[in-house]
Amino acid sequence: MIALKACRINSIDIFYADNVFEHFFPDEAENIYFEVVKKLKKDANVFLIIPNRFIRPHDVSGWFLPFGSKAKGFHFMEMRFNDITKQMETYKINHSHCVFRIPKLAKMFYIKSKVLLNAKLKLEQIFAKVPSRYLRRAMFDVGEYSVSIMKCNK
């Protein structure tokens, strides 16, 4: 955060955060998002990787809480793919690529398609109702992370 404050307004072309945002308290996240957006150039690329609450809590509380629960350890803001999408759209940051993971190939595919992005948003809502954690992962493996590739449209 200190390095971000040192940046000038409209000076960042690429913003990458891998397993960072889940450690912020929800009440301080608003200020952090605002600070990030302020520093981004128009059409800047934003890469966010956040543990997906769709599967389970990813901190220590994942060992004793049911899947889909809110994390109670040091992950204060694990989010579903839908949550990230809605939250970032309020800051005029929209998904530009849809990320799909194929576990058997150990590959990720980045596809620029609004149709696939909407399908992923709908599928997550449907599979969130499946009662078994194992079945969820077998049916719709998200790599336990919400991987978002976005574009700033401010």
Predicted local distance difference test score (pLDDT) of residue 142? 47
Q: Which residues of the chain have pLDDT under 70?
A: 1-6, 54-60, 62-64, 66-69, 71, 100-110, 128, 130-145
* pTM of full prediction above 0.75: no
Q: Rounded to an integer, what distance in angstroms lies between the CA atom of residue 98 and that of residue 112?
A: 6
State the residue for tokens 């543990």.
Answer: 51
- Per-residue pLDDT of 85-114, as tens digits, reads 888 888 888 888 777 666 666 666 667 777
Predicted local distance difference test score (pLDDT) of residue 124? 74
* CB-count exposure of residue 3 (10 Å: 0-12, 13-18, 19+): exposed
- Please state, as a whole number, how many other Cβ atoms lie within 10 Å of the Cβ of residue 124: 20
Could you tell me the domains of the chain? 12-152 (3.40.50.150)
109-119-41 Cα angle (round to 5): 65
Residue 79 DSSP label? B
Predicted local distance difference test score (pLDDT) of residue 44? 92
Phi and psi dihedrals of 45, rounded to 5?
-90, 140
